[in-house]
Chain A
C-alpha cells in the first residue's frame, strides 16, 4: 500500500507542490516572518518542499533535512514555520491521495494517514531536534558566559581585592557570588575585599541581606569586607527599609573604600615627586596670617 501511495505522490509531485506553496504562502503573516522578502520566502519554500520530497523518496535520508534545518536556523526563522509547513504538507498530500481514489473506505483512509505520517514524522523529528539542540547549545553557552561575568574578583594590590557587582542579584547569584568571593579571598590571600555595588540597580532587603551574609562570611574566614559604590538613592532605600548595616563598613565610592583598605593594611599613597612649590606657598601664606 505504502509504495502505491508513494508512487501517486511522486508522480503528481508538481500538483502537490503547487497546492502546498499556495497554502504555505498564506501562512507568511502568521509566522511572524513578515520582514522576510517575498522572494526569499518563495525560494525557501521551494527548497523546503524539495527536501520533503527527497526525504520521502530516499526513505527518510537525513542529510538533506539536516542541511536545510541548519539553513533555517541560521536565517533565524521560527520553528513554527517548519512545523506548520509539514502540517500543511500532510493535509495537502492526504487530500490529494484521497481524491485520486474512487474507492474510499475507513481502512483505506487509515492506511493513507499512516503512510503519510510515516513520511513526515522523521522529518519533523530531525528538524525539531536540530532546533532544540541549537537552543540548548545557546542557552548553555550563555549560562557559562553569565557565570564568568557574574562575579569577577580583581586583586589590585597585595592583600586588597575588589569585586565589582553588576546587574540584578537574586538568591542563586548571591550564593555564587559568596562562593567565589570567599574562594577568591583564600586564593589571593586578601586582607580586605571591596564589594562595589555601583552597577547594582536595586538594593532591597533581600540583596542587602545577601551582602551582609557575604560580609559576615568574609569576616569568619579572616578578612574584612567594605561595601563601596553606595549611590544616594541606595542609601535612601537602605535607611527607609530599616536595614542595619552598622557592622559593615561602607563608603560612597571605590576610591574612598580603597583608601580605607590601605589604612587597614597599614599603607598609604605617597607622591613620588612631592610638589614642593605648592607646599612652600602654603607655608608662606600661613605665615602671612
Chain B
C-alpha cells in the first residue's frame, strides 16, 4: 500500500502509519519527489510517530529523501521519532546529522514556517 502524501498550502504532509518494507520505502521516495515537482511545495513534514523500527536501510532512504528534496528546493522536517527508535539509531551509529527534527507535526510545521519565513 502506498504511503499517502497530503498537500496543505505549499507544504506536504506525510504520516507513515504502516510498517515500511524496502519496496514501500523506495516507492515513497519516488512518490514524494514527484509530488514536490508537481506541486512546487517548499516544505515537507514526515511524521514517524507510529513507526516502531527504523533500520539502516530505512534510515538511508529517509536521509536520501531529505537530501534529494533539498536539491529540489523543499525543506524536510522529520517529526515524532520515538525514543526507542532514536536510541536504536544511535546504537546503530546512524546520527542523521543535518536533518531537521521536531517533536510532533505541529512543532514541525512551526519549524518549517520559521525557517522558510512565509
Direct A/B contact, Cβ within 8 angstroms:
yes
Contact with B along A203-221 (1 / 0, CB 8 A): 0000000000100111111
Chain B residues with CB under 8 A of A190: 103
Which chain B residues (59-118) contact chain A, with CB distance < 8 Å?
78-83, 85-87, 89-90, 95-97, 101-104, 107-108
- CA of A213 to CA of B96 in the docked complex: distance in angstroms? 13
Which chain A residues (202-253) contact chain B, with CB distance < 8 Å?
213, 216-223, 247
Q: A129: CB under 8 A from chain B?
A: no
Of B79, B87, B104, the contact of A217 (CB 8 Å cutoff) = B87
Q: Do A183 and B83 form a contact, CB below 8 Å, given A191-B103, A217-B90, A221-B103?
A: yes
On whether the beta carbons of A220 and B103 are closer than 8 Å, the reply is no
Chain B residues with CB under 8 A of A213: 90
On whether the beta carbons of B107 and A220 are closer than 8 Å, the reply is no
On whether the beta carbons of B86 and A182 are closer than 8 Å, the reply is yes
Interface residues in A, total, Cβ within 8 A: 19
Chain A residues with CB under 8 A of B80: 221-222
B107: shortest Cβ distance to chain A, in Å?
6
On whether the beta carbons of B82 and A221 are closer than 8 Å, the reply is yes
Which chain A residues (173-199) contact chain B, with CB distance < 8 Å?
178-179, 182-183, 185-186, 189-191
On whether the beta carbons of A222 and B90 are closer than 8 Å, the reply is no
Chain B residues with CB under 8 A of A183: 83
Contact with B along A142-182 (1 / 0, CB 8 A): 00000000000000000000000000000000000011001
Which residue in chain B gives the minimum CB-CB distance to A266? B114
- CA of A235 to CA of B89 in the docked complex: distance in angstroms? 28
- CA of A213 to CA of B107 in the docked complex: distance in angstroms? 23
- CA of A182 to CA of B78 in the docked complex: distance in angstroms? 16
Contact with A along B2-35 (1 / 0, CB 8 A): 0000000000000000000000000000000000
B82: shortest Cβ distance to chain A, in Å?
7
Of A182, A185, A191, the contact of B87 (CB 8 Å cutoff) = A182
Chain B residues with CB under 8 A of A221: 80-83, 86, 101, 103
Which residue in chain B gives the minimum CB-CB distance to A181? B83
Which residue in chain A gives the minimum CB-CB distance to B97? A247
- CA of A218 to CA of B78 in the docked complex: distance in angstroms? 13
- CA of A71 to CA of B41 in the docked complex: distance in angstroms? 77
Of A186, A220, A223, the contact of B90 (CB 8 Å cutoff) = A220
On whether the beta carbons of B90 and A216 are closer than 8 Å, the reply is yes
Which residue in chain B gives the minimum CB-CB distance to A179? B83
Q: Do A182 and B83 form a contact, CB below 8 Å, given A189-B103, A222-B104?
A: yes
A261: shortest Cβ distance to chain B, in Å?
15
Of B85, B89, B95, B103, the contact of A185 (CB 8 Å cutoff) = B103
Which residue in chain A gives the minimum CB-CB distance to B103? A222
Which residue in chain B gives the minimum CB-CB distance to A184? B83
Chain B residues with CB under 8 A of A217: 83, 86-87, 89-90
Q: Closest 8 A-B residue pairs measured CB to CB?
A: A182-B83, A220-B86, A222-B102, A222-B103, A222-B101, A217-B86, A221-B81, A213-B90
Q: Pick 7 A–B contacts, CB within 8 A, sort by A.
A: A182-B83, A182-B87, A221-B101, A222-B79, A222-B102, A222-B103, A247-B97
Interface residues of B (CB under 8 A from A): 78-83, 85-87, 89-90, 95-97, 101-104, 107-108
